[in-house]
């Protein structure tokens, strides 16, 4: 009898001890999110790089960009950082938004919500993978664009800082957008009517001083403008806005988005109902 009891005790599973952070859960979610985009690298890395090169080629070959300059900077050297951060931002957004949207649509979101993970662990897992995809796409694009134009690295720390803040902002926006969206049409609307136009028209292709005065004022209210402007400053050493303002705006927007996403995940808004 005692022997049977001892045998049962040795085979009965005991509850897993989880410390302050569920590292296994976080690592699994992060790994799943990274594998999602590396598995289809043609769509997630190669295609954005080709699109960036296409825009670059249009300006270089068809629009005579090779002969123009913005201030003292050749136009193509001005254009390259804008295109790179635009691609990074769009991909960070796509990573988080598509993952959550597909999971909601297919009903597999329960696999993410049921494990003993806090909303913070979930959010950090998704955001880290989104930021990583943005950085990978950005790095590949830098190397490819460098084949055609001279890439300066005036302030590498600022490049990294604005790259991180920018991709984090878009990754968070992707989570919030996908949680809010009830169907693919909704998230497509966010992508087509908000994210893409804002990344496109916030100084990627031209200095903001080229805009009419009223639009220039509007541009300074747009966080995407500070993301592009600061990132470009890291490469060419010139910016339209004060860099400190850009950092403050991006930190502020990121903080607000973190709070929003954590609130959405902790209350289960449109996830647990």
Chain positions contacting other proteins, by CB under 8 A: 40, 42-43, 47, 50-51, 54, 57-59, 61-65, 79, 188, 192-193, 196-197, 200-201, 204-206, 210-211
Q: Taking the complex as a whole, how short is the minimal distance between the CB of residue 40 and other proteins, in angstroms?
A: 7
DSSP string for 107-153: TTTHHHHSSS--HHHHHHHHHHHHHHHHHHHHHHHHHHHTTTSPPP-
DSSP state of 155: -
**How far apart are alpha carbons 232 and 241 in whole angstroms?**
11
Output DSSP code: residue 65.
G
To other proteins, the closest distance from the beta carbon of 190 in angstroms equals 12
* Identity of the residue, 59 or 231, whose beta carbon is nearer to other proteins in the bound complex: 59
Residue 144 CB, nearest approach to other proteins (Å):
14
Residue 22 DSSP SS3:
coil
Q: Which is nearer to other proteins, 54 or 251 (CB)?
A: 54
Give least dist CB 222 to other proteins, A: 14
Q: Is 122:112 a contact under the CB 8 Å cutoff?
A: yes
C-beta closer to other proteins: residue 27 or 197: 197
CB of 264 to other proteins, least distance (A): 26
Helix, strand, or coil here: 69?
A: strand
Nearer to other proteins, 47 or 164 (CB): 47
Q: For residues 22 and 91, which CB has a smaller minimum distance to other proteins in the complex?
A: 91
Nearest approach, Cβ of residue 273 and other proteins (Å): 28
Alpha helices in the chain (DSSP H): 2-11, 23-39, 41, 47-57, 75-106, 110-113, 119-145, 156-180, 184-190, 196-200, 213-219, 223-236, 243-267
44 versus 167: smaller Cβ distance to other proteins = 44
48 close to 92: Cβ distance less than 8 angstroms:
no
């Amino acid at each position: 009898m005692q022997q049977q009891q001892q045998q049962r005790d040795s085979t009965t599973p005991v509850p897993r001890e989880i410390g302050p952070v569920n590292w296994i859960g976080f690592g699994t979610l992060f790994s799943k999110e990274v594998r999602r985009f590396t598995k289809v690298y043609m769509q997630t890395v190669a295609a954005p790089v080709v699109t960036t090169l296409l825009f670059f080629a249009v300006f270089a070959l068809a629009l005579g960009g090779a002969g123009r300059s913005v201030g003292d900077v050749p136009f193509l050297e001005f254009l390259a950082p804008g295109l790179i951060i635009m691609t990074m931002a769009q991909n960070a957004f796509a990573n988080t938004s598509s993952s959550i949207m597909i999971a909601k649509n297919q009903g597999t979101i329960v696999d993410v919500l049921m494990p003993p993970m806090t909303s913070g662990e979930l959010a950090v897992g998704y955001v880290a993978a989104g930021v990583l995809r943005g950085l990978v796409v950005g790095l590949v694009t830098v190397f490819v664009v460098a084949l055609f134009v001279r890439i300066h690295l005036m302030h590498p720390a600022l490049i990294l800082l604005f790259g991180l803040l920018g991709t984090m902002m878009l990754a968070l926006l992707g989570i919030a957008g996908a949680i809010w969206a009830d169907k693919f049409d909704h998230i497509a609307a966010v992508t087509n009517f908000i994210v893409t136009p804002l990344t496109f028209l916030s100084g990627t292709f031209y200095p903001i001083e080229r805009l009419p005065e009223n639009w220039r004022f509007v541009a300074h209210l747009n966080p995407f403008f500070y993301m592009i402007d600061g990132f470009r400053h890291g490469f060419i050493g010139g910016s339209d806005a004060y860099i400190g303002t850009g950092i403050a705006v991006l930190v502020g927007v990121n903080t607000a988005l973190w709070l929003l996403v954590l609130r959405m995940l902790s209350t289960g808004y449109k996830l647990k109902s």
